[in-house]
Amino acid sequence: MATRIAHLYRVRWTIEKVFDVTENRLHENKGWGVSETAKRMQGTFTALVYNLMLLLEAKAQREHGIRDEKVAKKYDEALRRRARLARQEGKRLPKMIRLLRRRATQISFQFIRWPRNHLEMGASYEASLPALHRAMEAYL
């Protein structure tokens, strides 16, 4: 039972973090309208943008080796710390946590700025990749 409660808390925290990223990093903190339809449309479009950002980030890593090293390093350090604390208590991290190398809630400002700026400039994906590579290296 305690494991289920811990898992539910983790899932809840992940959902809250997605809302936080959406509000603070994607600047979606004001409603477009007051009707139920407008609220649903805004939520749907925001979720689409968020998921497209995750897919774009995965594509940049998979096809071009561009990875948000700062976020990955921070998460790896947190996992090591959690594993050490679990060992001190005679426990282990759940397998699911060990298998996930990062959380879907982690999209950095550096990454978010990249498509935003290059879409406004009308740059193609391929033409904007060098700028993403520079941005990921510069903020380390």
Q: What tens digit of pLDDT does each residue of 90-99 get?
A: 988 877 776 6
CA distances from 29 to 24, 49, 106, 116 (A): 7, 15, 18, 17
> What pLDDT was estimated at residue 131?
92
> What pLDDT was estimated at residue 102?
59
What number of residues does the chain have? 140
| pTM of the predicted structure, to 2 decimals | 0.71
Find where tokens 């973090």 sit: 17
Helix or strand holding residue 115 (H, E): helix 109-121
> What pLDDT was estimated at residue 3?
79
> What pLDDT was estimated at residue 56?
92
Residue 102 CA to residue 14 CA, distance in Å, equals 12
Overall domain count for the chain? 1
> What pLDDT was estimated at residue 104?
59
Question: What range defines the domain where residue 122 resides?
Answer: 2-138
H helices, E strands: number in the chain:
6, 0
Q: Which residues contact 85 (CB under 8 A, 6 or more apart)?
A: none
Regions of the chain where pLDDT drops below 70: 98-105, 140
> What pLDDT was estimated at residue 81?
92
